[in-house]
Structure 1
Amino acid sequence: MTLAAPGAATRVAPSPGPSSSGSGARTLSRVGLALPVLVILLALAWALFPALFTGQSPTDTVAPSLQAPSAEHWFGTDATGRDLYARVVYGASQSIVGALVAVLVGLVVGTAMGLAAGAIGGAVDEVLMRVVDVLLAIPALLLSLSVVILLGFGTTSAAIAVGVTSIAVFARLARSRVVSVRVTDFVEAAYGSGGTFFGVLWRHILPNSLTPVIALAALQFGSAILQISTLGFLGYGAPPPTPEWGLLIAEGRNYVATAWWLTVLPGIVVVLVVLATNRLSQALRGGDAS
């Protein structure tokens, strides 16, 4: 055993550099975010350009009924011999566009209500928040069914109905953000510099209140797909033979034992799209910002 001479400098083991585990975690996180984005982009492409993904008609009989998935018919055929994959692809336009309309209704109306309640306060805040409380007190499915019955059946009516159920959620979040932002120093400074109420509201309060609202919109997009599919499953959405994801699942429920693909494959598509939107919402809330 060799002893170091007195006064000799002791060699210190070099400290390890930045751990590769952090960069590896970030890489996995980016990959984990890329997959949901690809799923959402694919669903949007189905909705906008369905003919690019299938040459089959979604409403015409093209093969014997209840054929299992094969190379020719990826999702098999339904009870009338229609290509199920084509119906799922073309059905994206009903479900995705309907969900976008629903989120737009909730986002615009709810954010406007929350902005007015938080910025004006007083009696306006009390009245609008009591309206929000009433909307929250009614179960979402019951409220959407009531609106659909008033407007009539169809995808547009279902989308508006689902949008109405999300107004209260957007309004509450927008109000809470506006109330917290309007008392910050930079807003007070904007007023002190001669800014008008609407000018400060538009330039400072609204932009600094929208980030969580946009994240909620991404989350509500997945929820809207589920609700529109539910209304379609119950028969309140697009009428047959129009392909719509909830309607496709409803049409196959009588054949679960003999033709599982009629319900399982459209259901998997719905689940994947909803999970992808939820993952994107988490990213927008800042979970993967680093």
Structure 2
Amino acid sequence: MTLALAAPRSTGTLAWRRLLRPGTVVPILVILIALAWALFPGLFAAGSPTEQAGAALQAPSAAHLFGTDATGRDLFTRVVHGASHSITGAVVAVVVGLVVGTALGVTAGAVGGAVEEILMRLVDVLLAIPALLLSLSVVILLGFGTTNAAIAVGVTSIAVFARLARSQVVSVRSAEFVEAAYGSGGTFLGVLWRHILPNSLTPVIALAALQLGSAILQISTLGFLGYGAPPPTPEWGLLIAEGRSYVATAWWLTVLPGAVVAVVVLATNRLSQAIGGAGRREETA
């Protein structure tokens, strides 16, 4: 009787099952609210983010939860509508880095040899360039705007995804169940799809959650520096930049949008830790 080595259950499935824990419910709720703001801003703030809603520089109150800015626009409305620019741009950036970087990393790790050497040396070149400098260079080449800023931020994360994906594939590729799959007649693409990828991508998914927060920060930084969406677009980084001249007299113009950015980024970081931690626990189980 021939004994076959079966592949262990994918860590991804149990990782997702373990996400709904007491320490992750609040971060998930924060992310869901932010996504709802981005997708349906009118449900949370019915007013216009670019039109005057009251007197200028009103402090936070029941009528204006985040106060008003220097032209009388409701700041809460602008923050809610700004999510559609900042978060959507961050999602685009993560998708660019995830798709391109994972494809490069999986190809390098699965094929090996000269292909791996060439691809990983290109990745090393990207890693040698500071992320902000690289994103600024790409924005200058493509032009200003949220979409171009998102693509620029995505380019800076390609190398990180590629290195992680490559290391995971190389680790799983040498496992006994993969060798058994080849021994039982499995093809290269079949083994890659059925055995290597499901047991390699949980850390990559965790990195994607982490990069979402990083992308929000980077896009906000580009907006703060004036390389993102132009005024009067309610992009989060631009909102903080517009309020910096009023820090002493209208603190809410910078503190409240900045607090929203910080809370969303912290929530994505906590979710990333939960996904990665669940995968590591399953691997050692």
Same fold, judged at TM 0.5 (above)? yes
**Letter aligned with residue 63 of structure 1:** G
Between the aligned partners of 2:278 and 2:108, the Cα distance in structure 1 is 29
- TM superposition shift of 1:62: 1.2
Partner secondary structure for residue 209 of structure 1 = coil
Pick the aligned partner of 1:257 from 240, 243, 248.
Answer: 248
Identical counterparts, % of pairs: 81
Q: In the alignment, which residue of structure 1 is the partner of 2:55?
A: 64
Q: In the alignment, which residue of structure 2 is the partner of 1:223?
A: 214
- TM superposition shift of 1:127: 0.6
Q: In the alignment, which residue of structure 2 is the partner of 1:48?
A: 39
TM-score by length of 2: 0.90
Between the aligned partners of 1:31 and 1:185, the Cα distance in structure 2 is 36
1:106-142, Cα deviation, whole Å (9 max, x unpaired) = 0000000000110111111111111110000000000
**Letter aligned with residue 101 of structure 1:** V
Pick the aligned partner of 1:106 from 89, 97, 110.
Answer: 97
Q: In the alignment, which residue of structure 2 is the partner of 1:192?
A: 183
Q: In the alignment, which residue of structure 2 is the partner of 1:267?
A: 258
Partner secondary structure for residue 40 of structure 1 = helix
Q: In the alignment, which residue of structure 1 is the partner of 2:16?
A: none
Q: In the alignment, which residue of structure 2 is the partner of 1:117?
A: 108
1:240-272, Cα deviation, whole Å (9 max, x unpaired) = 111100000000000000100000000000000
Larger Rg, first or second structure (1 or 2): 1
Q: Cα RMSD between the aligned structures?
A: 1.3
- TM superposition shift of 1:32: 2.3
Pick the aligned partner of 1:87 from 78, 85, 93.
Answer: 78
**Letter aligned with residue 282 of structure 1:** Q
Task: Tell me the number of residue pairs that the alignment of Structure 1 and Structure 2 aligns.
Answer: 262
Q: In the alignment, which residue of structure 1 is the partner of 2:7?
A: none
TM-score by length of 1: 0.88
1:40-63, Cα deviation, whole Å (9 max, x unpaired) = 000000001111111221000111
Q: Which runs of 5+ in 2 are unaligned?
A: 1-19
1:13-42, Cα deviation, whole Å (9 max, x unpaired) = xxxxxxxxxxxxxxxx93321111110000
Bigger relative contact order, structure 1 or 2, given CA contacts below 8 A and separation 6+? 2
Between the aligned partners of 1:223 and 1:286, the Cα distance in structure 2 is 19
Q: In the alignment, which residue of structure 1 is the partner of 2:140?
A: 149
Between the aligned partners of 1:217 and 1:211, the Cα distance in structure 2 is 10
Q: Which runs of 5+ in 1 are unaligned?
A: 1-28
**Letter aligned with residue 207 of structure 1:** P
